[in-house]
Amino acid sequence: MGKRWVIALVASAIILAGCALERPSDSGQAAGSPARFALPESDVSYIAYYVVDENGVQTLKTVWRSKDRLRMRHDFSGQGSLDLFFTEGRAYSCFESGQAECFDITSTAHEGLNTAFLLAPDVSQAQPAEAVKIGSTQGKCYTLQLSPGSERKFCLAERGVLAYDEYSAGNEKHVEYATRIVYGEPDPSVFALPANVKEQPS
C-alpha cells in the first residue's frame, strides 16, 4: 500500500472513530435495497473553516453545506488532502496528492457513520453550558454524555453552525474550532467529484 493510502486510511479512521461513538441513526433503509446515505436537509448554507487538533497534531478542515449536500475537506500539511462528499444519497471519499482518486463509500457510511458527528448534534439531548463570544455574536454551548466517563462539549455559532467541538475516543482527544464561517450558498461546483469513482481498494 502506498504512502498516500496510509494517509487516507488514517484520516478516515480519525473521522469514523468519532462517528462510531454513538449508534447510527435509522435511515429507513429497507433490507436488500441499494445503500444510500442521505443527510437531513439544512435550512442554512455556508462555508466554514476549522483547525482540528488530534492529540496535538493539527490539520485544517473546510466544510461546505447546502441543503442535503455536504463536503468536508481535511488538508494534511503538504501530504495531500482527503475529501468526504455527501450528495444525492451517496457518500464518496476522494484523496488528492498530485492527482485525485475517488471511491464510493456509501455502504460503509450507511453502516457505521453517525450524522451527529458530521453536523451539529441534536441539542435536545444535551445540557446547556456557558455562552461564549464567537465573532460578533454570542455562541451557545452544550455538553452531551456519550458514555460513562465520556463527554462531548460543543458550541454553536449564529444559525446553529458548529463552531467548537471537543470529545475523546479512548485515549484519542479531538478538538476543533472554527476560524471563519461564511453564510450563503456555496458554488455548486464544490460538490462535484474531482475524479471518476473507482472501486474501494482491498
Contact 155/171 with Cβ under 8 angstroms?
no
User: For 25, phi and psi rounded to 5 degrees?
Assistant: -75, 155
- Domains of the chain by range and CATH? 3-22+36-185 (2.50.20.10)
Q: Judging by beta carbons within 10 Å of its beta carbon (0-12, 13-18, 19+), is residue 12 exposed, middle or buried?
A: middle
Contact 65/193 with Cβ under 8 angstroms?
no
Partners of 136 in the β-ladder: none
Task: Report the pLDDT value the prediction gives residue 17, as an integer from 0 to 100.
Answer: 40
Task: Report the pLDDT value the prediction gives residue 112, as an integer from 0 to 100.
Answer: 67
Task: Report the pLDDT value the prediction gives residue 33, as an integer from 0 to 100.
Answer: 41
Q: Which three cell numbers stand for residue 32?
A: 436488500
Looking at residue 31, its amino acid is A
- pLDDT truncated to tens, each residue of the chain (202 aa)? 344 444 444 445 444 444 433 333 344 443 334 567 778 888 899 999 999 998 888 889 999 999 999 999 999 877 889 999 999 889 899 998 888 899 998 888 777 676 666 777 788 888 999 888 877 777 899 998 877 778 889 999 988 899 999 988 777 888 999 999 999 999 999 999 999 998 665 5
Q: Does residue 79 sit in helix, strand or coil?
A: coil
Task: Report the pLDDT value the prediction gives residue 50, as an integer from 0 to 100.
Answer: 94
Task: Report the pLDDT value the prediction gives residue 202, as an integer from 0 to 100.
Answer: 52
Task: Report the pLDDT value the prediction gives residue 16, as an integer from 0 to 100.
Answer: 44
